Amino acid sequence: MTPPSNVAYAVDDKPPAGVLILAGLQHVALMSMDLVYPVLLAQATGASPQIAAAMVSLTLVAMAVGTLMQVIGVGPVGSRFLCQPSTSVIYLVPSLLAAKLGGLPLVFGMTMAAGAAEVLLARALKHMRSLLPPEISGLVVLLIGVATGIVGLRSIFSAAGGHGDLQDLGIGFATILVMLVLNIWSRGMLRLLSVLIGMVAGYAMAVLTGRTSFGALDESALIALPQVSHLGWSFEPSLLIPFGVAAIAATLKVTGNVTTSQKANDNDWKRPDLQSISRGVLADGLATVVAGGVGASGLSSSTSAVGLAAATGVLSRRIGYAIAAMLLVLAFVPRLGMLFYLMPRAVAGAALVFSSTFIVVNGLEIITSRLLDARKTIVIGLALVLGLAVDIFPAFFQSLPAEMQTLFGTSMAFGTITALGLNAIFRIGVMKRTSLVLPVGPLDGDKLYDFMEVAGQRWGARRDVIERAQFNLAQSVETIIVGCAPQSPLQVDATFDEFNLEVRVSYLGAALALPEQRPSKAEIIASEEGERKLAGYMLRRYADRVTSTHKAGRSTVLFHFNH
pLDDT digits (tens, 9 = 90+) for 115-157: 999 999 998 887 776 677 778 877 877 887 787 788 788 888 8
Strand-pair category, 554-562 with 545-551: antiparallel
Q: Assess whether 409 and 493 both reside in one domain.
A: no
- Which residues form the domain of 149? 17-426
Question: Per-10-residue mean pLDDT for the chain, 563 residues long?
Answer: 78 88 80 80 86 89 96 91 88 86 94 96 79 77 79 77 70 91 81 76 87 68 82 91 85 80 77 84 96 93 77 85 92 76 78 78 79 86 91 80 66 82 80 86 84 88 87 87 87 86 92 79 68 74 86 91 83
Residue 468: CATH number of its domain: 3.30.565.10
Whether 125 is covered by a domain: the verdict is yes
Q: Assess whether 525 and 466 both reside in one domain.
A: yes
Q: Assess whether 513 and 374 both reside in one domain.
A: no
Query: In the predicted model, what is the mean pLDDT of the chain?
Result: 83
- Res 161: pLDDT: 57
Whether 12 is covered by a domain: the verdict is no
DSSP 91-149: GHHHHHHHHHHHHHHHHHHHHHHHHHHHHHHHHHGGGGTTTS-HHHHHHHHHHHHHHHH
- Res 538: pLDDT: 77
Q: Assess whether 300 and 198 both reside in one domain.
A: yes
Q: Assess whether 43 and 75 both reside in one domain.
A: yes
Final residue of a domain: which of 359, 394, 426? 426
- Res 427: pLDDT: 76
pLDDT tens-digit map of 192-222:
667 778 888 988 898 888 877 666 666 667 7
Whether 11 is covered by a domain: the verdict is no
Q: Assess whether 28 and 104 both reside in one domain.
A: yes
- Res 228: pLDDT: 87
Q: Assess whether 444 and 545 both reside in one domain.
A: yes
Q: Based on the structure, what is the number of domains in the chain?
A: 2
Task: Break the chain down into helix, strand, coil percent, rounded to 5.
Answer: 65, 10, 25
Final residue of a domain: which of 371, 405, 426? 426
Whether 389 is covered by a domain: the verdict is yes
343/362 Cα distance (integer angstroms): 28
Q: Assess whether 372 and 518 both reside in one domain.
A: no
Q: Assess whether 437 and 421 both reside in one domain.
A: no
Q: Assess whether 422 and 439 both reside in one domain.
A: no
292/41 Cα distance (integer angstroms): 13
Q: Assess whether 361 and 451 both reside in one domain.
A: no
Final residue of a domain: which of 397, 426, 455? 426
- Res 405: pLDDT: 64
Q: Assess whether 412 and 437 both reside in one domain.
A: no
- Res 286: pLDDT: 96
Q: What CA–CA distances, in Å, run from 544 to 174, 254, 534, 539? A: 52, 27, 17, 10
Whether 540 is covered by a domain: the verdict is yes
User: Which amino acid does the sequence have at 89?
Assistant: V
Whether 1 is covered by a domain: the verdict is no
Whether 8 is covered by a domain: the verdict is no
* Residue 188 backbone class (left: φ over 0; alpha: ψ -120 to 50; beta: rest): left
The model scores a pTM over 0.75 = no
Whether 2 is covered by a domain: the verdict is no
